[in-house]
Amino acid sequence: MDAEKSRERLRRARLMLLFTPGLCGERDPLAVLEAALPHIDLVQVRIKAEGRVEGPSPARELHDWTLRVLDLCVEREVGVLVNDRVDVAAVLAGRGCAGVHLGQGDCPPEEARALLGPAPLIGLSTHCARDVAAAIELPVDYLGYGPIHATPTRGYSAGLGPEAAWVASEGSPVPVFPIGGIDASCAGELAPLGRAAVSSAILAAEDPGAAASEIALLLGA
């Protein structure tokens, strides 16, 4: 993956899809993804162990799903990252994987950068102003920030709100993607930032393409 091209794509990105196959219901997850792709700038592949919301992705399953996603995304110039597994990101870098997204409890960004080298993207989840401030000193390329709204499926009964996301973005030298409970009913609140990371609002939608298109338009894409 060309480092400068990858970072330019990140700077222009508006809508990141958190691709979790289990959220697609009985439908073919790749068909759902393909329907949404015309409106997506980045895809983060997230595979969780059955029955668990948190915890590291199973390496083999994440690897195999990411290869399938790359087959759909590379020619469309949609960037693909893996969630939390630096080892998988390293193995698939030569196949077009753009990098890795890390949670606060995952591999430290400094270690991830040492393992991956300078080219791949590294994203980091942040949940408060202190996290954002600390990230300024870290070798990361973008931040996820949230939850913006309550997401009971992930254990958050309250959100930080769109205003907090705006403050986080203003205080960050790298792009910030608000995350958590974002759908077409509230994505317009994030238009001043122009970015969001979305999962179930697209993957579980009856028409994933229409859902992705509407959210992208509300973000100003």
- 5 — alpha (psi -120 to 50), left (phi > 0) or beta? alpha
Per-residue pLDDT of the chain (221 residues; tens, 9 = 90+): 578 889 999 999 999 999 999 999 999 999 999 999 999 999 999 997 554 445 667 899 999 999 999 999 998 999 999 999 999 999 999 999 999 999 999 999 999 999 999 999 999 999 999 999 999 999 999 999 999 997 755 555 679 999 999 999 999 999 999 999 999 999 999 999 999 999 999 999 999 999 999 999 999 96
Domain boundaries in the chain? Answer: 3-218
Fold entry, domain 3-218: TIM Barrel (3.20.20)
Alpha helix (H) residue ranges in 38-128: 59-73, 86-92, 109-116
Q: Give the torsion through C-alpha atoms of 164, 140, 36, 197, to 10 deg.
A: -20
pLDDT in tens, 57-110: 789 999 999 999 999 999 899 999 999 999 999 999 999 999 999 999 999 999
**pTM for the complete prediction?**
0.93
Angle between helices 29-36 and 59-73 (to 10 degrees): 40
